Every structure is written in C-alpha cells, then in structure tokens.
Amino acid sequence: MEAKIKVVGFLKITDPNTKEVLVDKTNSIHYENLSYSLAQAFSDQDIGTLYQMNFGNGGSSVDPTGVITYLPPNTVNQNATLYNQTYSKIIDNNNASNPDPVHNFISVNHVPGMTYTDIVVTCLLDYGEPPDQQAFDNSTQTGGTYVFDELGLFTYQGTQNNQTLTRLVTHVIFHPVQKSLNRQIQIDYTIRIQALTNLSQA
C-alpha cells in the first residue's frame, strides 16, 4: 500500500475587537524543510516541532499609484527565511520561552474517520506589542517596520552559541497590514495534513 501526504495552509488575520478580516488567503509550503521537520518530530529528536511565527515587511512594494507588486514566497533552499523579518513570537505553548501561552498556542483538530488533521496556530499581537510601534494605524509608509506583508511559521532546530535555531516551513505574502498601539491583531494559521490513501496496491 502506498500513501501520499498533501499539505495545505490557510491564513486569516483579523481585528478581534471589530471582527474585521484583514487578510484571508492560502500560504506556500516549503516542502523540503517541512519533510525534514516532520521526520525530526516523528523520530522524537526534540526538534522539528512548530515553534515560532515570524513577521516581516519585505514581501511587497507599492508604487505611487497604489499598485502592489508581490514577491514570490521563499520555498527553496534549506536556509530560506523571510525577505525582511522585523518581529517574531513564540507560538509553542509547551515551550517555557513562550510568555503568553494563553493567547499564543498550537492546537490539533481531527474528526474521527477523516483522513486529514488540522494544526491551528493562534497568535495575538496585543496592544502593547511590538513595544516601539506607532500609536495609530495611519502610516503613509507601506515599508514601515511593523507594516507587515509577509509571515512564516518556523520549526525549532535546537540552540547554538546561546542562539535558537529555526527552519522556515511556510511563507505567505499579502497586502500591507499595519500593527499599531491602538489595535490588536489576531492570526489564525491552519496547516492541514491529509493522507491520500489507496493510490496503489503492492
């Protein structure tokens, strides 16, 4: 029996107070890094698990007429990362380094009998974070430090020289969204893993 695995991702960014949907789209998967991380996690090596959500502002550009040009997601090369990372949050609620596991956590949703399972990563950018953000979401600079237009999930790869090592497994690029002091932003990032069975019989 041969079984194949399909992985798809869905990103939704909302304002939890107004319920406004700021971003709703699919993401791109870094298949090499994902397969490596899954093998590490399956073999109980204490690495390869989802660990961090990184935010950046280098995924797009806006010309003077307002037309947005998007760069392609980085899904090749083991050392791939965001175009310009400006902020990050630990989303592994089992990791002692996560300062707020109530609002930044990973859950697993499965319906008995189904051949797919959803990993749901929830992350809240609260009013006071990042600490040096602008007071209001009225920036005219689409390239501002916390005007995010790219986001990625990274797995834990251990430590070296007191630095945490991570590996990118998903990358999504979207229209610029500003994080400012006057509002919260919630990210719900779903990774669906589906087993495609009965494809061939040995």
Q: Which domain, by its residues, includes 96?
A: 2-200
In this prediction the pTM is: 0.92
**Amino acid 200: pLDDT:** 47
Cα–Cα–Cα angle for 28, 30, 32, rounded to 5 degrees: 155
Overall number of domains in the chain: 1
**pLDDT per residue as tens digits for the range 130-174:** 999 999 988 777 778 999 999 999 999 999 999 999 999 999 999
Tell me what the pLDDT averaged over the chain comes to: 93
**Amino acid 2: pLDDT:** 66
**Amino acid 5: pLDDT:** 85
Q: Is the pLDDT of residue 66 over 90?
A: no
Task: Go through 91-107 and write b for each residue having 16 or more CB atoms within 10 A of its CB, e for each that does not.
Answer: bbeeeeebeeeebbbbe
**pLDDT per residue as tens digits for the range 82-133:** 999 999 999 999 999 999 999 999 999 999 999 999 999 999 999 999 999 9
Alpha helix (H) ranges present in 88-198? Answer: none
Q: Is the pLDDT of residue 202 over 70?
A: no
The closest alpha carbon to 82, from 187, 166, 168, belongs to: 168
